Chains A and B, each alone.
Chain A
Amino acid sequence: MSISASTGTLRYRPAQAEPESGMTQIGLPSHHAPGGPRGQTARETANDPVRLDDVTKIYGSQRAVDSVSLVLNPGECTVMAGHNGAGKSTLVKLILGLIRADAGKVTIFGRSASSRAAAMSRRHIGYLPETVALHPSLTGTETLAFYARLKGLSTDGNAALLSRVGIAQAADRRVGGYSKGMRQRLALAQALLGQPRVLLLDEPTTGLDPASRLLFYEIVGELRNAGAAILLSTHALAELERQADRVIVLQRGRKIADGSLSDLRRDAGLPVRVRLTVEHEITSAPDNWQRVGPYRLERSCTETTKLAALREAQTLPGVTDIEIEAPGLDEMYAHFLRREDH
């Protein structure tokens, strides 16, 4: 049996033994994340790393964030998607206490985000800003030392951290001479200082080369496994599909979707396509199936009827290959945005 996954497509070749168990695997395409209940109602716990209750932020006449409730759970990577201006950065700034909410409550580790007490809690937060801005006259080592001291950390681990993000060889050069990728890596290093329990990454992968991007995902994965609550914001959702334990979609400041990928798929009700390749030329297609080529059949189903369709496919004679095309993140994202427009 071999399963090869690419973006939005799962390919499954039926094996001789235990076809049933193979199917069940396909039935759960997204890895399931630990963590409490999600959705509109936020839990009542004081120790949530980050918690927003009905938060609204108004700029002039525009509601940049509109009654958003949200809890970030430890060990969960939440991807926040939305167009430019949907309120992603505003939300991150609210969590950091850089701006105050006009209504509602933002708490980090049980303390109001804009309070003085929260300033101390911020030592457990790592933040990667949307536009990476570092002091050009300092070297990489000095930059990291400056930020480590601000967090009250020793600078012993800094050299290791710099080589972890792959800029050890440039550590003693001034940041002003760094390339964009190197600056992004250094900025990531500062966000990782002191094993943060909350990681806020604002559009972290825009403009990164593939190598940096892979490294980035790897590090984020490690931190997630170590129990950090991670919030990643992006407008290119598909790229983060494998990172996302949970997806939030923002539109014009409102949260219009929140849940795991499979939750969202089910919720969106977008068709899943099952394609079969058969040995013999098809003369007449069976019920529910469409002939799309001499050796190929196709069927549209929903997330809920997908399993039934697969079982049926198993019973058809001469099937050599089954392909499942689930809606990609971008399609789903577009669907949610469209649905809100109506």
Chain B
Amino acid sequence: MNPTLIIIAKEIRDGLRNRWVLAVTLLLAALALSLGFLGSAPTGTVKVDPLTVTVVSLSSLSIFLVPLIAMLLSYDAIVGEIERGTMALLLSYPVSRWQVVIGKFFGHLAILALATTIGYGLAGITLQLAHGGIDFSTWMPFLFLIAASILLGASFLSMGYLISSIVQERATAAGIAIGVWLFLVVIYDMALLGILVADQGRIITSHVLNTILLFNPTDVYRLLNLTGYENVSMFAGMAGLSEQARMPLPLLIGAQLLWVAVPFTLAASAFRRRSI
């Protein structure tokens, strides 16, 4: 078997064993469910599928949670193994370093994807059952949300790997990871909002704003979810915005893929040159 596949399988097994997958799945399912039931209260008897409403609130929640989970998974992926000494042993085997990084990354991505899909999926099914039966026609935006969440997670995993392959100590990696998370998830948008208010649309046109948003994977994720589907953008109150703010889907997906690929490539090349 290919060394990369062996390492992927080992990472997944590790994730299942130490109950990472279980914990994350339960957490995501519980939050999705509570948002689903709470969120459907205001819609009352309006003929709106609970899933569509849930997508809106769930995407706001995922922006905080998924990157945090991804960072926790990845920050010690490289530096932790080097510190514990397992990396030296692993590299004494006939594997190359890029096989090690790719194997570990895809293993972690599989863990994240598994937990997100099962957690949100279960919640989605439960919500529909509680509101009168499964209706798969409304699942598209929900599935899209799951896919976008995995992609968002992948971008933060990739940044976590970059941090992990550069720093010398686990504690430093943890600190930087939390810092990056805080900056991209909270500070970036707040600062942007402040600037927008102060600027009053003089310098920052909608075009410039779009570009700025592309430089943050969480904003790309928000745009993907909120403008990706007609229904969803309506309930999100983004319908009016859509004419000037909407960016083509391929552009958003492309930007998000770059957010995965670029940090990962940097991580792999830093790891390749690193002394163990």
Contact = CB atoms under 8 A, between A and B. Distances in A.
Contacts of A123: 93-94
A96 B92 contact: yes
Contacts of B197: none
A149 B5 CA distance: 10
Contact of B10 (A131, A132, A146, A200): A146
Interface string B76-96: 000000001110111111111
A151 B84 contact: no
A134 B81 CA distance: 10
Interface of A is mostly: mixed
B225 to A, nearest CB: 35
B95 A119 contact: yes
A125 interface: yes
Contacts of A149: 1, 6
A96 B96 contact: no
Interface in A107-163: 116, 119-123, 125, 127, 129-135, 137-138, 142, 146-147, 149-152
Among B85, B89, B90, chain A packs the most CB atoms within 10 A around the CB of B89
Contact of A125 (B85, B88, B92): B92
Contacts of A200: 92
A99 B273 CA distance: 9
A93 interface: yes
Interface in B88-114: 88-96
Interface string B4-35: 00100010011001100000000000000000
Contacts of B6: 146, 149-150
B211 interface: no
A116 B94 CA distance: 10
A147 B14 CA distance: 15
Given A98-B275, A119-B94, A127 B17 contact: no
Nearest to A125: B92
Nearest to B6: A149
B182 interface: no
B96 A119 contact: yes
Interface string A247-261: 000000000000000
Interface in A86-111: 93, 96-100
Contact of A135 (B14, B91, B275, B276): B14
A150 B99 CA distance: 11
B3 interface: yes
Interface of A: 93, 96-100, 116, 119-123, 125, 127, 129-135, 137-138, 142, 146-147, 149-152, 187, 190, 200
Interface of B: 1, 3, 6, 10, 13-14, 17-18, 84-86, 88-96, 275-276
6 contacts: A98-B275, A127-B92, A133-B84, A133-B88, A133-B89, A138-B14
